Amino acid sequence: MTPCLKFVVKECDPVSGIPEADGYEDSYEVEDLELQVSDFIIASYIQDFNKQWETLPEEVTETFALSLPSVSVAFSTVSDLLSMANISAPSDTTGPQSAQFCGIFFGGHKVLVRCRAALTGDKEVTLELNVRSTREDICAHVIGAFA
């Protein structure tokens, strides 16, 4: 099915600018486009992540095995894929590390993500994503970006 924009064309009074009551239907075919989760999120920053985390009622957690060379690359991938701001300080440890991300989902819904990651093999990172928001479906969409 080809995406199509359907609308009603109406003449307007040139003086008042008020459209006439009658019109005719028209349509315009638009090109296919692919939307990603990041298209619905704007990166944002917050003062107290933990306090904000506790105020959000919905939560979804999932663990992934990713073919990435390092934990830092995993965190960069999360930030890029979700279009969210990494608001945590980088860690210099070689073991498991964590990061916190913040964004605003379409409609003004705050989304917070806690990530834990560890290098589990040669170029393999285990990543646990814990997502909180005001709505469960938003949490699921964010997690779905990695599926």
Question: In this structure, what CATH number is given to the domain that contains residue 85?
Answer: 3.30.310.10
15 within a domain of the structure (yes/no): no
Cβ burial 81-92 (10 Å sphere, 16+ → b, else e): ebbbbbbbeeee
Looking at residue 89, its pLDDT comes to 65
Tell me what the mean pLDDT of segment 31-48 comes to: 88
Q: What is the pLDDT of residues 76-88, one digit of tens each?
A: 999 999 999 888 8
Q: How confident is the model at residue 140 (pLDDT cuts 50, 70, 90)?
A: very high
- Does 65 score more than 70 pLDDT? yes
Helix (H, G, I), strand (E, B) or coil at 125: strand
Q: Does 11 score more than 60 pLDDT?
A: yes
Q: Would you say residue 110 lies in a domain?
A: yes
pTM value is 0.76
Residue 24 domain flag: no
The tokens describing 19, both together, are 């459209």
